[in-house]
Structure 1
Amino acid sequence: MKTWLTTLILSLSTLGLAHADVATTQQNLKKNFPEIPVSAVNTTPVKGVYEVITEGQIVYTNDDAQYFFVGNLVDPKNQRNLTAERMQQLNKIDVSTLPLNQAIKHVKGNGKRTLYIFSDPDCPYCQRLEKELTAVDNVTIYLFLFPLTTLHPNAETIATQIWCSKNQYQAWQDYLLNHKAPTASQKCSTPIQKNLALGQKLNINGTPTMYLKNGERIAGAMQAGQLNTLLDQAQ
């Protein structure tokens, strides 16, 4: 009993110390970098190194919070990228909360798998993804028009015309795959501004960005074979 009690006391003491160190790091971050919005500070497997989550990104610091370490924390023995794993956890969402009325729905085959895509019509990587999607079947796609006008000034105009088209997804494919400009007017109401606000909330800063049925996030274009595997795993 004495051994058990001693172990318990030591464990609680260590836990309290860990919380104190996190609290100290948070205080030092606020003092040294008040302009940086810090969402959370967590411990890492490396003694004295803390994970700092800021604006959807991960950096590392120590309890003095004088410097930041930017990069991946890797466990070579177990061949794990700990930073990438944490980012995957942080970026995971509950897809049931996505406003599907703001997306273009397209069903291929039996539609049993689901893919949510935030895409810019003038983004080269989005065009590459759309080409790969021609080899992906049995999927329901929810396409959120997400024009990044700072990179592609005409993208919002094109996205508006696509949304206002009678066959929205066909107009999307015609533009991205065949370079055929949409002909619809720009006089209908669109969810584009709502999509941009949603993307900001989800820390989406590049296209294409995809979400699987299990809420996992995929950034960038991907080959059809790899995407098929992930879609199957997410069921």
Structure 2
Amino acid sequence: MKYYKIQIKSFYEDRIASRAEGENITNANEYFWAMDKGGILHNAPIFDYFVLESFDEEKYWEWALFDVHKFIGAGSQIPGWLISEKLKNLLENFKISNPHTFYESKLLYKEEKKDYYIFQFSGEQFFNTLVNYIDFNKSLFFDPNQKIDFRIIDIQDLIIQTRRIFKESGCEIINVPVKKLVLNNNIDFFSMQSFLGENIISERLKQAIEENNITGFQFFELDYKVVIE
């Protein structure tokens, strides 16, 4: 199966995509920092409400509403996205890397509250579980400093090699470049942003997003091979 890199689109010609700000939510920082650490919030309240903001002029903050938005301000620490109910329903029909969860939320847009969800798919405590989707013995990585391919043994080795490459590159290369990624599960959305710097999706999920006119994403070809075994 083919995979693509998935990102939220930040720019639209002469406009900046707005982001979700949660300063109006009661105890927002308490909840959002817990998510940042990878905590799953059981019996979480409805997060009521987010608003749209951007680095553009305020008059353009509500220029467009998308099915997915990044966070800004109170909420910027959330390891995930704010997504529409339409996108949530679509994702639930596909295999998403675990752990992940959805939190019911509200987004105030042009004086009307819309049903949205926080889609949490990463965080400090998610790391050990997410990397288990990777078969390190069969995957291949690249050292951009020494210009050689190499293998990583396990999670601890990944941490060591990431720090080494970061240091040897003069703090310019944050993540270990991938040459071949072997996964042990046929998943449609795999969050690697906390350890390899990006999120990837299957071709079938990409097609479903496009066919259902889900807005706010952009996709990129990968410069490495993904294999499912």
TM-score by length of 2: 0.23
Higher helix share: 1
- Asked which structure has the greater RCO (Cα within 8 Å, sep 6+), the reply is 2
Give the number of the structure whose alpha-carbon radius of gyration is greater. Answer: 1
Higher strand share: 2
